[in-house]
Amino acid sequence: MMLDLIIEGATICDGSGAPAFRGCVGLEGDVIAYVREKSAPARERVAADGLVVAPGFIDPHTHYDVQVCWDRDLTPSSWFGVTTAIIGNCGVGLAPMRKTTRDALLHDLENVEGLPFDLMAPVVPNEDLSYARFTEWIERRGIRINLAPLVPLTPLRRCVLGEDASERAATVTERRELVRHFEAAIEAGAFGFSTDYLADHLGFRGRPLPCQLADMAELEDLCGVVRRRGGATLSVA
């Protein structure tokens, strides 16, 4: 067997839970095809003595929704071997966004995540931002690790209910609109949705986070989208 690349001499953590061992990892194209203690023939060789080779790690709870605007590496996660970060947690984030709801969303993030409004405002687009447009915008910036985005329920509700999102549950008509926007987000690559019921998480102007006012009918409708459209996860804080 002639591999394209062999990484040899590394301490290997193979992700199975087995003890780490010193050995070699071989690739054919971009597929791992060889994990052994002994080396093998390859067109290219990399010495990795003193280093660790491990599977990509997933950071399941991050708030890089705004940091993607200025940090292509998404530090510090990438410093520690993380290759996939999940964003859109705790029901707060940027998309879907109407221009008229932008500042409220940024203040929600300021209150929940401690991100200063004056830091976020200059780098966040001041425009209507569908979820598909948000993901396209991230891809154009060239983020260096993978993102698994959730749809935060707060911006979704602000997009549909406007200022009433902080006051009440959605009507039947508004629930249909929530579902429509969420289905479009799943089509654009969203993995699911997130919401938040932590009492110390307040939104814009000290009002409840809009996601906390969603009733069971709204949540059931959104869970139905995840089931039908093949979403992967729900996140509830």
CB-based contact 55:126 (threshold 8 Å): no
**Has residue 165 got a pLDDT over 70?**
yes
Distance separating alpha carbons of residues 155 and 209, to the nearest angstrom: 10
> Looking at the whole model, is its pTM more than 0.85?
no
Looking at this protein, which amino acid is placed at residue 127? E
Query: Mean pLDDT in the chain?
Result: 91
Instruction: Residue 188: count other Cβ atoms within 10 Å of its Cβ.
Output: 18
Strand pairing class (192-195; 57-59): unpaired
Query: Residue 100 CA to chain centroid, in angstroms?
Result: 24
Residues 131-140: tens digit of each pLDDT: 999 989 888 8
What band does 65 get if pLDDT is binned at 50, 70 and 90?
A: very high
**Has residue 87 got a pLDDT over 80?**
yes
Task: Give me the DSSP letters along 211-229.
Answer: GGG--HHHHHHHHHHHHHH
CB-based contact 3:27 (threshold 8 Å): yes
**Has residue 105 got a pLDDT over 70?**
yes
**Has residue 231 got a pLDDT over 70?**
no
